[in-house]
């Protein structure tokens, strides 16, 4: 009898080879399953182009305060009256927003349906009306949810900044 790495005994070379192959496959599958969650988080830099920020004026249609990142849905009307439905993902996650004083209730109160906002975002590399929110201001120019600059991997900066890209209607 031959003792295999998995602690099993086999009576022939054929069984021994099959068992070694089976043990190898089980170990490989286990390692893949254990290592996969590390790659599960999306790559913000891959999805959005922070080197080409776009600033839009829009109206909030929906706000979702959820993990892994809150989502803002808003409509942008162009000079011809055409409406584009946009969505933006906040870089800070809810835990970071709470640390900055922006819990669920305060955030939802600041962004109800119909709120007019000026939003600067890193647009989707795919050209769709989606982006990662870099800066969010209300009609008075006040920073909402602590988002005033920053980018992937950076802490959001508080306070309204001057300058920046041109605002599109």
pLDDT of residue 42: 52
pTM: 0.64
Torsion, Cα 93 95 100 102, to 10 degrees, reads 80
What is the predicted pLDDT for the residue at 165?
Answer: 41
- Residue range 44-168, CATH number: 2.40.50.140
Give the chain's mean pLDDT.
Answer: 77
Between these two residues, 165 and 128, which has the higher pLDDT value?
A: 128
Q: Give the pairing type, strands 130-138 and 143-148.
A: antiparallel
* Residue 14 scores a pLDDT above 90: no
* DSSP 8-state symbol, 105: H
**Residue 68 exposed, middle or buried by CB count within 10 Å (0-12, 13-18, 19+):** exposed
pLDDT average, residue stretch 122-146: 91
Q: Is the pLDDT of residue 9 over 70?
A: no
């Amino acid at each position: 009898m031959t003792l295999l790495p998995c602690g099993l005994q086999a009576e022939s070379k054929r069984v021994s080879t099959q068992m070694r192959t089976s043990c190898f496959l089980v170990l490989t599958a286990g390692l893949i399953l254990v290592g996969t969650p590390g790659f599960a988080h999306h790559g913000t830099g891959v999805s959005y182009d922070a080197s080409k920020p776009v600033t839009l004026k829009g109206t909030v249609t929906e706000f979702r305060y959820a993990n892994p990142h809150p989502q803002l849905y808003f409509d942008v009307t162009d000079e011809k009256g055409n409406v584009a439905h946009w969505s933006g993902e906040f870089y800070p996650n809810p835990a970071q927003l709470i640390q900055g004083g922006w819990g669920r209730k305060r955030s939802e109160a600041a962004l109800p349906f119909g709120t007019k906002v000026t939003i600067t975002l890193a647009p989707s590399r795919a050209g769709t009306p989606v982006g990662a929110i870099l800066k969010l201001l209300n009609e008075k120019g006040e920073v909402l949810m602590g988002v005033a600059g920053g980018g992937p991997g950076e802490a959001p900066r508080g306070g309204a900044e001057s300058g920046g890209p041109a605002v599109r209607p």
